[in-house]
Chains A and B, each alone.
Chain A
């Protein structure tokens, strides 16, 4: 025994299984997972939560989270989450989707869920490419960005422009809380956690649809070291995808507790 008091300051959240992930070194999926697990633990919601995994790198998310989970067909997670939430209105239901899943094949489902004001939370990972299949062009791929299916760089004349999902969904009346954060440095990660907490609170209070977009790195498919990937995100993605709150329902501001959090 040590004479000094020992205080645990950092440990695995209860919402996490004790197993290594399959994510590449430096990938921010692990950070995003951890933030979700921490928030749900802090809210006391771990055992009332049902997660919906999507198709992409996070298809195995249910292996890492320590609560009930289902796995949706590509792009359909918001529809599946809707079916769960309408069956179990008291449960906390969230989807965890990448940019190919949410902004391309799943565009119909995400827009419809947001417009209905579906009481689900969406964690949207934007890493500007299809990670799982080896780095193809995604709807979010930046102009000029080289991917395995835009080898000369994304040519907007032929391949169109990136989609800013948060801005797009923020125009819908059903969307109560739609914000963008980034995971490239500690300050932004702390901001991301606060946003995830707010998003889940918005669901719990029945205010409406909530989504947090998280700008993320994909060092393997970007062909960068983890450190240079974070720099690239800050220098190239953040200017195109500004960090900020694009839709915050007035009732959220009204319900904000006085005296800070």
Chain B
């Protein structure tokens, strides 16, 4: 396989097709639409199911039905559309079905804009719908990683009978990079035992998310939580850069992590002992890795394209042992590597104390910058 120049949204779509996707249901929304457009031609060409739904409500419930039949299915959308899908995601999670959702996040809240954002970290990692459940969240930082994680998403969804969300952002969806696509996987002919398929002589199968008897619901929730513990134990993924001797640690994921890497390299050139931790699985979050690094590091800098959402997970892991600074851009604004470098240099000056709230400190600076008063 050779490298080819390919757009993020298209790369994810082709990766899903090659992972043995049997059906796709979606609704147009920027900056995700190329994914839907691509599969609208590709799936029928392979005699597989594609349907443009009437809404994201329709799309996620078509996926719900398709997942009940035990075949690989997915949808993709962007922030406002994924909000509409939360009802379905809660039902799917309770019914314990494998579903892959690609969320190409854009600026919000509200209709917001179509620029790249990470504002939906909380919605994705906390189980954005009602009730208590978890979903696996994978965050690529390049087109190649988006391809690889899409392939992985289908395997994890089936292994754990879980929703797996590939959490991208507008820039990853829209950018073109050289990447290598994986070979074609054959469509799985083995159908899981739990599937609803109308098979003569097998006896009746029912898939539902209702447990009208509260102890039955509690039993279901215990099973879901136990499975999540297993996922936490086995599916934490991250990438570390310059960690061995790092005294200062930057934590960022996806596009923010990639921009931070440029800043970390520039800081290294200036002689600063800085490392980068880039979480790939946002749920399960690499708490233990961050906790271990807190022993080694003097201070942390969390960089996100939001108001400090992963920041809370880092704070949980660091547990007030070391100072934490936060640098975030919101509303579809992307940080510059130079700005992150400036933050690293500020951090390395050693002025930051344990008592400061990283979000308050950051917001005060932002207000000054925007001239809205500190």
Q: Which residues of A contact B (CB under 8 A)?
A: 47-50, 52-53, 59-60, 62, 65-73, 76, 79-88, 91-92, 108-109, 111-112
Residue of B at shortest CB range from A89? B49
Kindly identify which residue among A49, A59, A76 contacts B61, using a CB–CB cutoff of 8 Å: A76
Q: How far is the CA of A62 from the CA of B68 in the complex (A)?
A: 15
A-B contact pairs, 22 of them (CB 8 A): A50-B68, A50-B197, A53-B208, A60-B210, A60-B212, A62-B208, A67-B204, A68-B197, A68-B199, A69-B206, A69-B208, A70-B206, A71-B210, A79-B54, A80-B65, A81-B65, A83-B63, A83-B66, A83-B67, A92-B198, A108-B55, A112-B53
Q: How far is the CA of A65 from the CA of B196 in the complex (A)?
A: 14
> Which A residues touch B49, using CB under 8 A?
86-87
The answer to whether B22 touches A87, judged by C-beta atoms less than 8 angstroms apart, is: yes
> Taking the nearest CB of chain A, how far is it from the CB of B23, in angstroms?
6
Q: A80-B61, A86-B51 are in contact. Are A68 and B198 (CB under 8 A)?
A: yes
Render B252-264 as a binary contact track against A, CB cut-off 8 A, 1 for contact.
0000000000000
Q: How far is the CA of A66 from the CA of B201 in the complex (A)?
A: 12
Nearest 10 pairs of A and B residues by beta carbon: A83-B65, A112-B54, A79-B61, A83-B62, A80-B65, A71-B208, A83-B66, A47-B200, A76-B61, A84-B65
Q: Indicate whether B73 reaches chain A with its CB closer than 8 angstroms.
A: yes
> Which A residues touch B226, using CB under 8 A?
none
Residue of B at shortest CB range from A74? B87
For the A-B complex with A47-B198, A109-B58, A112-B53 known, give 4 more contacts whose Cβ atoms are closer than 8 Å: A53-B208, A76-B88, A83-B68, A112-B54
Q: How far is the CA of A87 from the CA of B266 in the complex (A)?
A: 51
Q: Indicate whether B209 reaches chain A with its CB closer than 8 angstroms.
A: yes
The answer to whether A108 touches B23, judged by C-beta atoms less than 8 angstroms apart, is: no
Q: Indicate whether B352 reaches chain A with its CB closer than 8 angstroms.
A: no
Residue of B at shortest CB range from A72? B61
The interface centre, meaning the residue of B87, B208, B210, B212 with most chain A CB atoms within 10 A of its CB, is B208
Kindly identify which residue among A52, A66, A92, A111 contacts B65, using a CB–CB cutoff of 8 Å: A52
Kindly identify which residue among A53, A59, A79, A84 contacts B68, using a CB–CB cutoff of 8 Å: A84
Q: How far is the CA of A102 from the CA of B206 in the complex (A)?
A: 22
The answer to whether A73 touches B61, judged by C-beta atoms less than 8 angstroms apart, is: yes
> Taking the nearest CB of chain A, how far is it from the CB of B51, in angstroms?
6
Q: How far is the CA of A111 from the CA of B55 in the complex (A)?
A: 12
> Which A residues touch B53, using CB under 8 A?
79, 112
The answer to whether A91 touches B197, judged by C-beta atoms less than 8 angstroms apart, is: yes
The interface centre, meaning the residue of A50, A87, A109 with most chain B CB atoms within 10 A of its CB, is A87
Q: Indicate whether B321 reaches chain A with its CB closer than 8 angstroms.
A: no
Q: A81-B65, A86-B49, A87-B71 are in contact. Are A68 and B196 (CB under 8 A)?
A: yes
The answer to whether A86 touches B198, judged by C-beta atoms less than 8 angstroms apart, is: no
Q: A76-B57, A88-B197, A109-B57 are in contact. Are A69 and B204 (CB under 8 A)?
A: yes
Q: How far is the CA of A76 from the CA of B89 in the complex (A)?
A: 13
> Taking the nearest CB of chain A, how far is it from the CB of B280, in angstroms?
30
Render B67-78 as a binary contact track against A, CB cut-off 8 A, 1 for contact.
111010100000
Residue of A at shortest CB range from B195? A68
The answer to whether A71 touches B23, judged by C-beta atoms less than 8 angstroms apart, is: no
> Taking the nearest CB of chain A, how far is it from the CB of B22, in angstroms?
7
- Considering the complex, which residues of chain B in the window 30-74 have a beta carbon less than 8 Å from any beta carbon of chain A? 49, 51, 53-55, 57-59, 61-69, 71, 73
Q: Indicate whether B272 reaches chain A with its CB closer than 8 angstroms.
A: no
> Which B residues touch A92, using CB under 8 A?
198
The answer to whether A62 touches B87, judged by C-beta atoms less than 8 angstroms apart, is: no
The interface centre, meaning the residue of B62, B69, B88, B91 with most chain A CB atoms within 10 A of its CB, is B62
> Which A residues touch B58, using CB under 8 A?
76, 79, 82, 108-109, 112
Q: How far is the CA of A154 from the CA of B357 in the complex (A)?
A: 56
The answer to whether B196 touches A62, judged by C-beta atoms less than 8 angstroms apart, is: no
Kindly identify which residue among A48, A68, A79, A81 contacts B206, using a CB–CB cutoff of 8 Å: A68
> Which B residues touch A68, using CB under 8 A?
196-199, 204-206
Q: A70-B65, A71-B210 are in contact. Are A87 and B23 (CB under 8 A)?
A: yes
> Taking the nearest CB of chain A, how far is it from the CB of B37, in angstroms?
19
> Taking the nearest CB of chain B, how far is it from the CB of A117, in angstroms?
12
> Which B residues touch A67, using CB under 8 A?
198, 204
> Taking the nearest CB of chain A, how far is it from the CB of B337, in angstroms?
44
The answer to whether B87 touches A79, judged by C-beta atoms less than 8 angstroms apart, is: no
Residue of A at shortest CB range from B87? A73
> Taking the nearest CB of chain A, how far is it from the CB of B127, in angstroms?
16
> Which B residues touch A49, using CB under 8 A?
198
> Which B residues touch A87, using CB under 8 A?
22-23, 49, 65-66, 69, 71, 73
Q: How far is the CA of A47 from the CA of B212 in the complex (A)?
A: 27
Q: Indicate whether B154 reaches chain A with its CB closer than 8 angstroms.
A: no
The answer to whether A48 touches B73, judged by C-beta atoms less than 8 angstroms apart, is: no
The answer to whether A86 touches B66, judged by C-beta atoms less than 8 angstroms apart, is: yes
Q: How far is the CA of A109 from the CA of B27 in the complex (A)?
A: 14
Render B177-210 as a binary contact track against A, CB cut-off 8 A, 1 for contact.
0000000000000000000111111001111111
The interface centre, meaning the residue of A49, A53, A83, A86 with most chain B CB atoms within 10 A of its CB, is A83
- Considering the complex, which residues of chain B in the window 81-99 have a beta carbon less than 8 Å from any beta carbon of chain A? 87-88, 91
Kindly identify which residue among B51, B57, B196, B201 contacts A50, using a CB–CB cutoff of 8 Å: B196
